[in-house]
Copies of this chain bind each other. A is one copy, B any other.
């Protein structure tokens, strides 16, 4: 009599979960060799072999149904199944490439918007292109990559509740700024809120003066952002941009 294995043992040996074994049993993909009186599942060596094959095809992204078809009758077009599958993989591979390109283009466009804001709008006469380039470099080098990476990880780890909280905080600040639009962008009340806003932004990334200015420009250059702020109040985006510029120049002024 050959060895027999419990669900847990098989799970541990193969690195899948017990639940998955239950699932494979239920859908008839891998039935245990024996069931004890008490309904315990016991697997034999053949079962393990079959499981290996199942996992092999799973690795290759075959569906469980396809896998079953192949294992139960490999003659039925084993090679062609592989070839067909290869085709579909190739398809998806191409798609991924396209998606990445599109994302890249979008990123470039946004980055372009920001640079444009700095370059063409003639708002920063004191900074020539060389300085801007140097600043870009500095941001890359100065803000310790480890810290940046860490803050990213933090964001990834944020719970949904934390996420919501922070979103609400942002909304409160924006709302407050909306109420202050009759004041000038340099009014103390406004600047107080902007200070909060800047602190809020720094929840997400280190944001020195020039970057904060750039962000303000982005608010009026990029429709996504503009639309968002217009929902609070008409022209809020422009107002914020101005207030943020003032704050960057007079308070942050790195």
Contact = CB atoms under 8 A, between A and B. Distances in A.
Interface of A: 49, 53, 59-61, 70-80, 82-86, 89-90, 92-93, 96-97, 99-100, 102-104, 106-107, 110, 152, 155-156, 166-167, 170-171, 201, 204-205, 222, 224-225, 227-228
A103 to B, nearest CB: 5
Nearest to A73: B167
Contacts of A110: 78-79, 82
A86 to B, nearest CB: 5
A25 B78 CA distance: 44
Classify the secondary structure of A's interface with B.
helix
A194 to B, nearest CB: 14
B224 A74 contact: yes
Given A86-B100, A93-B93, A93-B97, A170 B77 contact: no
A204 B83 CA distance: 14
Nearest to A225: B74
Given A74-B222, A76-B204, 8 more contacts: A49-B227, A59-B102, A73-B170, A74-B224, A74-B225, A77-B204, A92-B96, A93-B96
